[in-house]
Structure 1
Amino acid sequence: MKQAKLLTDAERKRVSAVINAHRYPIRNHAIFALSFFAGLRACEIAGLRVGDVFEDSGKVRDTIYLAATQTKGDDSATVLISKRLAKALAAYAAQHPRHIAKQDASLFFSAKGGGFSAQTIVNLYARFYKLAGVKGASSHSGRRQFLTELADKGINARVIQALARHKHLNTTMRYIELNENKMRNAIELI
């Protein structure tokens, strides 16, 4: 199975610059942040409602509770919100306060006012990766990057599995990038 590409720092900066140069940069940064900082899949991002992410007051929740209908595996799930992700979501809310007041509305909306489908989210990622000249990246790259970075920081595999919302640890392990440099660093710890 071919894995989604992990982005280098330079590629992430190029993607960010491309997002900044196009319409709806704050919305698009929030969509990317949900993948890169929480590991959400395109279908999960598309399924988010305002009330899943924001309290009635407009404050970003610290936890997203996904219903079974909003997930890939048809099981309900819990997603923790990091400070970095909360910052991106708060910026989005500040730009769209009237929309954020509609708790039942789709979290993200298009120029035509409708919610995004999972395919629209996939296409959005593909468009920005292509414009940034990043080959091999997909809507799953952020999720894979999220899990690999946790592993690189020494987070326990069971914790990563829980954050990935995988039933089996071997599924999680396939997401984590291995390379010779990481293995050499590991043996130097002895």
Structure 2
Amino acid sequence: MSQAKTLTPAEIQQVLDYIASRSCAMRNRVMFLTGLWSGMRVGELSSLSVGDVRNTDGSVRAEIRLTAEQTKGRHPRTVFLPQKLRDELRVYFDMRGMVPATNPLFITAGRKRFSANVMAQHFHYLFKRAGIAGASSHSMRRSFITNLANKGISVRVLAEISGHRSISVTQKYIDVNDDMKRNAVEMV
């Protein structure tokens, strides 16, 4: 099985433009950006409750503490949210209003929690309809790791951020492209 596609900035904008033209635009935008800017797996995204992300005073947390039950490897970890994602989440919460902390962060059109499988299918069709071939729900995570690697973040830090126990796993996520190679040789 081939690896999920790493999204280019143009493809990310293409997906955001498609999302903006469809129903559930705010939810889909925030769901996509949360995966793209936090590096969480689709199973982790689908497991989130409002209380995982929002403080009791209504502010958005800077860090999400995932329990062992929420992670793939059954190891709890902390996910750090960049300010731009916290701003997007704040707008999303303003739209949703004050809902109980136990409610799912992302709900289906049927007002139920997404399962990991349903969310993965949702992203598959979203990318397909947006015209991005080869993309899947894992593309957001792979793009997150690759983009940080492009900015010079060490593999050890990337492994910690992504919840990998081994840096060799993290290295498989990093997509090397011609721009990276050009930039590398310019550093000589």
TM-score range (shorter-chain normalised) is over 0.9
Task: State yes or no: 1:116 paired with 2:99.
Answer: no
Q: Secondary structure at the match of 2:176?
A: coil
Give the equivalent residue in structure 2 for 1:65. 65
* 2: CA distance, partners of 1:168 / 1:8: 26
90-99 or 143-152, which deviates more: 90-99
Which runs of no fewer than 5 residues in structure 2 stay unpaired? none
Counterpart check, 1:189 vs 2:187: yes
- Give the equivalent residue in structure 2 for 1:39: 39
- Please tell me whether the aligned partners of residues 161 and 172 of structure 1 are also in contact (alpha carbons under 8 angstroms): yes
Deviation of the 1:179 alpha carbon: 2.6
Task: Report the CA distance between 1:183 and its aligned residue.
Answer: 2.2
Aligned length: 188
The letter for the 2-side match of 1:186 is A
Secondary structure of 1:113's match?
Answer: coil
SS at match of 1:98: coil
Partner of 2:6 in structure 1?
Answer: 6
The Cα of 1:58 is off from its aligned counterpart by: 1.5
State which drifts further: 166-175 or 4-13. Answer: 4-13
1:55 is aligned to 55
Q: Secondary structure at the match of 2:137?
A: coil
The corresponding residue for 2:88 is 88
Q: Give the gaps of 5 or more residues in structure 1.
A: none
TM-score, normalised on structure 1?
Answer: 0.95
Q: 1:134-181 CA distances to partner (integer Å, 9 max, x unpaired)?
A: 100000001011100101011121111111110000000000011344
Q: Which residue of 1 aligns with 2:161?
A: 163
Task: Check whether the contact 1:26–1:88 (CA below 8 A) recurs between aligned residues.
Answer: no
Structure 2 CA distance, aligned partners of 1:92 and 1:184?
39
Write the deviation string for residues 49-97 of structure 1: whole angstroms up to 9, x where unpaired.
1110000121100100001010111111100010111111111101001
- Structure 1 residues 113 and 180, CA gap change in structure 2 (3 angstroms): closer
Contact 1:38 1:146 in 2 (8 A): yes
Question: Which position in structure 1 is the counterpart of 2:27?
Answer: 27
Deviation at 1:4, TM superposition (A): 0.7
